[in-house]
Amino acid sequence: MNKSDLIDAMAADSGISKAAAKAALDSLTSNVTKALQKGEKVALVGWGTWSKNHRAARTGRNPQTGKTIQIAAKNVVKFKAGAGLSNAMN
């Protein structure tokens, strides 16, 4: 499912226009992004939690050349599925 499929499904399920569903989805993604940039956690109870995680710099290896390379530190997004989502998968 891609973004346009999700917008179509949201519009059909909630009885709203596709434009309103797109605005709602864009608002969700924008607000989740802003909260993560501030270092906050975003939790949807029963569905999951997003959090910002810092990955330290480390040494790696280029598999094509075998040379050792330095991988820079960066922030990554971590998602932990909630009980409701995990149970729905089984």
What pTM was computed for the model?
A: 0.80
Instruction: Give the residue numbers spanning the domain of 68.
Output: 41-90
b/e per residue, 36-54, with b = 16+ CB within 10 A? beeeeebeeeeebebbbee
* Claim to verify: residue 35 and residue 67 sit in the same structural domain: no
Where residue 90 falls among pLDDT bands split at 50, 70, 90? confident
The count of structural domains within the chain is: 2
d(CA 1, CA 61): 35
For 42-80, how does the pLDDT look when each residue is reduced to its tens digit (9 = 90+)?
999 999 999 999 999 999 999 999 999 999 999 999 999
Same domain, 31 and 48: no
Contacts of 39 (CB under 8 A, 6+ apart): 52
